[in-house]
Amino acid sequence: MMKIKTPKKGRVKRELDKRAPKLVETGKKTLILQGTKTSGTLNCVLSEIYHLKKGGAVRFTRKNDNIRPFESGGETSLEFFSLKTDCSIFVYGSHSKKRPNNLVIGRMYDHHVYDLVEVGVENFKSIESFTYDKKIAPRVGSKPFIAFIGEGFENVDELKHLKEVLLDLLRGEVVENINLAGLDHAYVCTAISSNKVYLTHCALRLKKSGTVVPRMELVEVGPSMDLVVRRHRLPNEGLRKEAMKTAKDQPKKKVKNVSSDAIQGTIGKIYIPDQKVGEMALPNKAKGVKRERREAKNKEANEHASKKQKEESE
């Protein structure tokens, strides 16, 4: 037997609607978590990634002993967390003798692991170690510029993959309109060698250039680190095809009260609220006043009018 279950509260329904598959997706949430063992560097890296992605990230601080993204069966709880938190990118930190300062960045499709990249963190410099003018500090949630430098990103498979994953992780929300005054930070990724990428976070300083376009100046604000690619797993071809599907025709939102005519052009309908004549306040006819006083008032008014008339007649 089956039972139909629907949420009892409106808030729950709205939350479920938010999580439903959409025709046009706006942004992916990031889940940041760690394994049983981490290092100080890694803790710092994870918390700073969380700091950079604040608003679109969920941070788990407990140890997770049954997450091994690359092994079969080790992604079960990861997929469960993804379902619970509605995150589709995860950053998983672990530290071992074989793979020190290990960071696994992966993406999810329909709450199943889509692809994985494993990188080692080296030469990490935290946000605190940079000194700069706090006025130019990037604001939380603003859309960043992303720059990829180096031929490695095109020639080497791993780096090509890493580029895609980093772009997905860093780009933030997909927006239609952007405020030019709100552009204040940039990520710069440089391929140093065939398996090493230098990633840094910079603030922007806009200088006058005499034209519309200001001259850009990058100021390093941190964090910055070297990412050494270790293992990676590409999505299988079928899944990739499925995930790359896009909505061809977006449904047009019906505009209310506007119609178009071949001869008259666009016609708009305007509704004017009722004139509330009955509720209008009228002078000297207040019902709340006692009858005697009301009558006295009326009398006075009449006398006043007659006096005026008299004066006029005189």
Partner 1 sequence: MEMETETQKPFQVDMGNLLAFNPFHNFPSLPTSRDELVKECIQEGTKLVQAIADSIFNLPSTEDADGPLVKLPTPTTKLPREKHLPKPKPPTKWEEFAKKKGIKKRKKDKVVWDEQTGTWKRRFGYDRVNDDKDIPIIEAKMTDEPGVDPFAKRQDDKKKRVEKQEKNRLQNLKQAAKIGALPSHVQLAATALPITGTQAPPKKVTKDELGNVAGMAATSTASGGKFDRKLPGEKPAKKQGKHRKFLPVVEGSGIGSREKEQTENVLNKLISKHSHEILNVDKAVTMYNVKKEKKARNKRNQEGKSSSATNKLKPKKQLHKKNGKKGPGSSKKGKAK
Neighbour tally for 164: CB within 10 Å = 15
Residue 20's CB is within 10 A of a number of other CB atoms, namely: 6
70 binds partner 1 (CB under 8 A): no
Which of 50, 60, 70, 109 lies at the binding interface for partner 1 (CB under 8 A)? 109
DSSP letter assigned to residue 128: G
C-beta closer to partner 1: residue 56 or 297: 56
H or E element at residue 241: helix 237-243
Report the residue from 72, 246, 257, 260 that binds partner 1 according to the rule CB under 8 A: 246
**Residue 175 found at the interface with partner 1 (CB under 8 A):** yes
Binds partner 1 (CB under 8 A): choice among 34, 38, 41, 88 = 88
Q: Is 300 in the site for partner 1 (CB under 8 A)?
A: no
Among 120, 243, 294, 297, binds partner 1 (CB under 8 A): 243
- For partner 1, the binding residue among 11, 19, 62, 98 (CB under 8 A) is 19
Binder among 57, 108, 227, 228 for partner 1 (CB under 8 A): 108
Report in angstroms how near the CB of residue 205 gets to partner 1 at its nearest. Answer: 10
With respect to partner 1, which residue has the nearer C-beta, 69 or 152? 152
Residue 145 has which token pair?
Answer: 């510029």
Q: Mask 145-164, x = binds partner 1 (CB under 8 A)?
A: xxxxxxxxxx--------xx
The tokens 């992780």 sit on which residue? 169
Nearest to 134 by CA among 221, 58, 66: 221
Q: How far from chain centre, in Å, is Cα 228? A: 28
Q: In angstroms, what CA-CA distances link 168 with 25, 27, 50, 142, 295? A: 13, 9, 15, 15, 80
Q: Which of 208, 245, 253, 290 contacts partner 1 by CB under 8 A?
A: 245
The interface with partner 1 within residues 193-212 (CB under 8 A) comprises 193, 198, 200, 202, 204, 212
* Closer of 33 and 202 to partner 1 (Cβ): 202
Instruction: Tell me the DSSP string of 66-89.
Output: T--TTSTTTTHHHHHHHHHHT--E
CA 162/CA 107 separation, integer angstroms: 11
